[in-house]
Amino acid sequence: MSGKSRIPADAFYVDSTITISTKHHTRSLRLPLLIFLAIAGCLCTLEVCVSMVSPSFHGMPFWGISVLTIILVCILSILPKHLHLLGYLPLFAGIAAAFHSRELLVRGAKLFYNDYYSIAHHTETQFFEMPLYVDEQEAVTWLMCCCSVILCSIIARLLMRRPKFLFYFIMTFTPIEFGLYQGLAMNLPAILMVIVTWFGVLALQLAERRASQNNLRSVRYSASAGCGIAAIVLTGAAALAAVLIADRFQLTTSPEIQEKRQTLRHDIENMRWEDITGSLAELSIGLGIMEDPDVRELGEKSSLQYRNEDEVRLTFSELPDSGMYLKNYTGSVYEENALVILPEEILEDNENLLTLFDQFECMPQILPFMGSQSLYGKNSTATLEIEPLISTKLYLQPYASYNSKAIYLDDTGFVPVEADSYSFEFSKQQTYQSVFQTPLHEFYIPVSGFNLGDTVTADFFDRIDADTTQDMLCVTARQTPYIENPDFITQALQAVLAEHYVYRDFVYQTYTDVPESEALAEVYASLPDWLLQTAREGNDWATMQAVRQYLAEQSEYTLSPGKTPATRDFVNYFLLENHKGYCMHYATAGTVIARYLGIPARYCEGYVLSQDSMADGKENEDGFVIVDVPDSAGHAWCEIYLDGYGWVPFELTPGYYGEEMLSPGESSTTAATTTTAVPDVPAAESSTQTKTSVYTTAVTTDGNGNAAVLTATVSSIGSSSGQGGSLGSVLSGFLRILAILFLLILIAAMFVLLRRYRMNRRKRSFQNPDTIAAVLSLYRYLIRLLEVVSLSPGNQQLLEFAERAKQELNDAGYDGEGASHIIQLALAADMGEKAPTKEQLHEAVRYAERLALRIARNQKPAARFVMRYIHHLI
């Protein structure tokens, strides 16, 4: 073995030949390692792909063909000379098979894409409409087999010939990256195994990198195989340690980490080169360096994906009578394709309003709660404890609720005293129909009831600018300001007065403001006459219904509407060109149009809970119902202002409303007569031709005839993400792999130990002091050896057989003399009791061993394996 080295000039001349030798000759494990890498890499990559989409296919033929392909390619690739080129045969066979059955393949591809689409978009809708007669499993299986054969052929072939990390990485990482990008759940142990093989291939390649040392192949390969194995073991240990660390410190489930990840993710996703300063500022916000201005960028996401992970835990003392909205964010201003909260300066400009908020707690948020108490009585409330699971800054607020400990800073949200968990008293009546249908009444509040001499009271009336010289103060409201609950009497009166005299004007000034732009002017101009006519009639509810109808006619609900081009207005692009969107699109467009039509409206985000999902909650020992809210319950809706009552949600997104909608007053004509739930009808599809089935709606009514939204997430989506999603499954996967490896090692060890035992036993028999027994044993060994080269005594006389064996062995290039001699010795010992001498025996044994080695050398690897480990001849 020789290699090159740097040769210095002048004082010394180093011979260019360097020899490297090792003391112990160790068999290189390179070939077994490459086979292992090929099998593990291919199978784990396939498993990752399969686990991503979970297609409906026949597993046995797929895995069988995959394994066979890998083994075949491995075997063909190690053939000598140019025969290794046969290793490309399975690849060509795969391509030919795919071409031959291309129609079936195309069908399979469409079906496969349908599976992918439903998983990626959490929908049961099929992207490609397939005829019913298509055998789905057969087509998908055929597609996957063809792909598997091609993929395995390429990976195994190139690994066996020359392991190249970059190529292997690209081939195996691509599906993983794709899955990650699409948010698909994957088999975690399989991915980790792929990572382990990456480092194995990398170590192997780096150890074999010195191409100039071709002749050092034996030592180099011995070391490189060792390096590959060591790298695999070390990376495997790292993977195991990573799983244990993540499990121990809950890195994948910790709410703080999740929150930070989500924040950073959002900021990174919103990075824009044209506004790099702003993007970096947002990133700084995510990193906690700057504060978040609470902006919602619109049209940045091409699609909406859910992980189906629980984000909030709700504990109800009693469940509401219908579905429920939990508001987290209120977008008050629409500008430059973004929604932002109400600017502080607007509130600051309304000093009286701010004082009413700060000092007199006349918050619009609590007005509906007071109203509900007035409408339904003080026993109509329940408590709700909210515990955010992923973010401690997730401040959720139900409608018609009140939290006495919370700080209400403005007319949108609140800040709880303890962010980890906070509770509300809320009205169990969350339907608002009766409220909406209740007309505004005039209520007269006697001024004498107030102590105007009190400076605080005087200040209050001063702030609301009420004429206290009159005996009565007239306010308009949906319900009486006098409520039964004595705790809230004063607060309710103050709130109603503040709403009537101050806040209502503020609402109409602020929340009917629409941005002026050419793009939006185009939108306004495109509004149909019937919609404008409805708006002119002055019935807000009818107007909003018309808006909803217009939006439904104008667009199609989809979770993958694509991004809004940077140069286009979000609403304009949605309504006039793309005609595709999800809740965010509908809520934003509805808000803008409602404001244009003179209805105070705001955009809201949060969660929407169906009555069914709440009914599925678990009851704890205190009788409270615990409901976990997944991310898929996230939603956006529009909020409109009801004079004399406050803000109420109005649903604009197809699929979330119908005849049975939660929205105020909508069920007035149908709900009272319906008593049983309608089977899951894809209302969105029937009414708007939408393709989603994430939410299905049905009608239920309570005893009062109030309708409620039933929203139910598709359970299969949740279960799909569970595959390999938790660390427990990772551990169990690892244990399974370890168990399989252990089993394989055990089987291999069994072969080795059995061979060693048989060899030792044979050696002892050859060294038997009774040389007759020893030579007979040797004879039996020789006969088994000769059977390998198809030489058997049969019925032939032994002397004749000895002669024939000698002749045939000589013809085959072996030394046949020794074999003949052994047969004769055995014959003499057996028949004539003539014991051979120890020297003769020793010589004969040495000959037999040499012959065995030479025969083995001339055998094919498989036959050699059989000789070594099955027949134990060498």
HEC string of 755-804 equals HHHHHHHHHHHHCCCCHHHHHHHHHHHHHHHHHHCCCCCCCCCHHHHHHH
Q: Of the candidates 24, 27, 81, 248, which one interacts with other proteins according to CB under 8 A?
A: 24
Minimum CB distance to other proteins, residue 303 (Å): 15
Distance CA 402, CA 495 (A): 13
Q: Of the candidates 252, 352, 517, 765, which one interacts with other proteins according to CB under 8 A?
A: 252
Contact status: 164 vs other proteins (CB under 8 A): no
Binding piece for other proteins, criterion CB under 8 A, among 22-30, 64-72, 633-641, 733-741: 22-30
- Cβ proximity of 171 and 154 under 8 Å: yes
Instruction: Please tell me the count of residues contacting other proteins according to CB under 8 A.
Output: 73
Q: Of the candidates 98, 160, 192, 826, which one interacts with other proteins according to CB under 8 A?
A: 192
Q: Of the candidates 264, 678, 712, 759, which one interacts with other proteins according to CB under 8 A?
A: 264
Helix or strand holding residue 648 (H, E): strand 646-650
Q: Of the candidates 122, 157, 220, 478, which one interacts with other proteins according to CB under 8 A?
A: 220
Binding piece for other proteins, criterion CB under 8 A, among 19-27, 72-80, 646-654, 815-823: 19-27
Distance CA 849, CA 835 (A): 21
**For residues 169 and 869, which CB has a smaller minimum distance to other proteins in the complex?**
169
Report how far Cα 235 is from the mean position of its chain's Cα atoms.
24
Contact status: 262 vs other proteins (CB under 8 A): yes
**For residues 287 and 741, which CB has a smaller minimum distance to other proteins in the complex?**
287
Q: Of the candidates 154, 185, 193, 375, which one interacts with other proteins according to CB under 8 A?
A: 185
- Cβ proximity of 532 and 525 under 8 Å: no
Distance CA 853, CA 864 (A): 10
Distance CA 786, CA 781 (A): 9
**For residues 186 and 805, which CB has a smaller minimum distance to other proteins in the complex?**
186
**Residue 623, Ramachandran bin (φ over 0: left; ψ between -120 and 50: alpha; else beta):** left
Minimum CB distance to other proteins, residue 857 (Å): 24
Binding piece for other proteins, criterion CB under 8 A, among 70-78, 235-243, 558-566, 702-710: 235-243
**For residues 257 and 789, which CB has a smaller minimum distance to other proteins in the complex?**
257
Q: Of the candidates 119, 609, 730, 737, which one interacts with other proteins according to CB under 8 A?
A: 730
Binding piece for other proteins, criterion CB under 8 A, among 66-74, 177-185, 461-469, 806-814: 177-185
Site string for other proteins, 825-854 (x = CB under 8 A): ------------------------------
**For residues 175 and 646, which CB has a smaller minimum distance to other proteins in the complex?**
175
Residues 700-729 that bind other proteins (CB under 8 A): 725-727
Task: Report in angstroms the alpha-carbon separations of 613 from 323, 382, 560.
Answer: 9, 18, 25
Q: Residue 394's closest CA among 424, 368, 369, 422?
A: 422
Minimum CB distance to other proteins, residue 265 (Å): 5
Minimum CB distance to other proteins, residue 232 (Å): 9
Contact status: 731 vs other proteins (CB under 8 A): no
- Cβ proximity of 475 and 445 under 8 Å: yes
Position of tokens 């011995």? 222
- Cβ proximity of 347 and 660 under 8 Å: no
- Cβ proximity of 359 and 469 under 8 Å: no
Q: Of the candidates 68, 85, 106, 268, which one interacts with other proteins according to CB under 8 A?
A: 268
**For residues 180 and 799, which CB has a smaller minimum distance to other proteins in the complex?**
180
HEC string of 604-636 equals EEEEEECHHHHHCCEECCCCCEEEEEEHHHEEE
**For residues 196 and 544, which CB has a smaller minimum distance to other proteins in the complex?**
196
Contact status: 10 vs other proteins (CB under 8 A): yes
**For residues 180 and 741, which CB has a smaller minimum distance to other proteins in the complex?**
180
Residue 835 CB partners (closer than 8 Å, separation 6+):
770, 771, 772, 775, 829
Site string for other proteins, 90-129 (x = CB under 8 A): ----------------------------------------
Minimum CB distance to other proteins, residue 600 (Å): 36
According to DSSP, the β-strands at 646-650 and 422-427 are: unpaired
Backbone angles phi, psi at 835, to 5 degrees: -75, 135
Minimum CB distance to other proteins, residue 270 (Å): 12
Q: Of the candidates 89, 109, 130, 223, which one interacts with other proteins according to CB under 8 A?
A: 223
Residues 193-212 that bind other proteins (CB under 8 A): 195, 199, 202-203, 206-210
**For residues 52 and 319, which CB has a smaller minimum distance to other proteins in the complex?**
52
Report how far Cα 797 is from the mean position of its chain's Cα atoms.
75
Position of tokens 């169906």? 610
Q: How many residues does the chain have?
A: 874
- Cβ proximity of 354 and 288 under 8 Å: no
Binding piece for other proteins, criterion CB under 8 A, among 190-198, 273-281, 588-596, 761-769: 190-198
Q: Of the candidates 83, 245, 739, 752, which one interacts with other proteins according to CB under 8 A?
A: 245
Contact status: 151 vs other proteins (CB under 8 A): no
Helix axes 727-766, 771-788, angle to 10 degrees: 130
Contact status: 269 vs other proteins (CB under 8 A): yes
**For residues 264 and 773, which CB has a smaller minimum distance to other proteins in the complex?**
264
- Cβ proximity of 641 and 367 under 8 Å: no
Q: Of the candidates 242, 280, 346, 532, which one interacts with other proteins according to CB under 8 A?
A: 242
Minimum CB distance to other proteins, residue 159 (Å): 17
Distance CA 556, CA 559 (A): 10
Distance CA 101, CA 138 (A): 12
Distance CA 567, CA 337 (A): 10
Residues 306-335 that bind other proteins (CB under 8 A): 307
Q: What is the amino acid identity at position 552?
A: A
Residues 57-86 that bind other proteins (CB under 8 A): none
Contact status: 170 vs other proteins (CB under 8 A): no
Position of tokens 């001339």? 858
Strand partners, 474: 444
Minimum CB distance to other proteins, residue 419 (Å): 21
Q: Which two tokens stand for residue 763?
A: 């050696």
First and final CA of the chain: distance in angstroms? 27
Minimum CB distance to other proteins, residue 45 (Å): 14
Q: Of the candidates 44, 73, 155, 186, which one interacts with other proteins according to CB under 8 A?
A: 186
Minimum CB distance to other proteins, residue 40 (Å): 16
Minimum CB distance to other proteins, residue 606 (Å): 20
HEC string of 226-283 equals HHHHHHHHHHHHHHHHHHHHHHHCCCCCCHHHHHHHHHHHHHHHCCCHHHHHHHHHHH
Distance CA 407, CA 358 (A): 9
**For residues 10 and 516, which CB has a smaller minimum distance to other proteins in the complex?**
10
Position of tokens 């061993």? 849
**For residues 287 and 749, which CB has a smaller minimum distance to other proteins in the complex?**
287
Minimum CB distance to other proteins, residue 539 (Å): 45
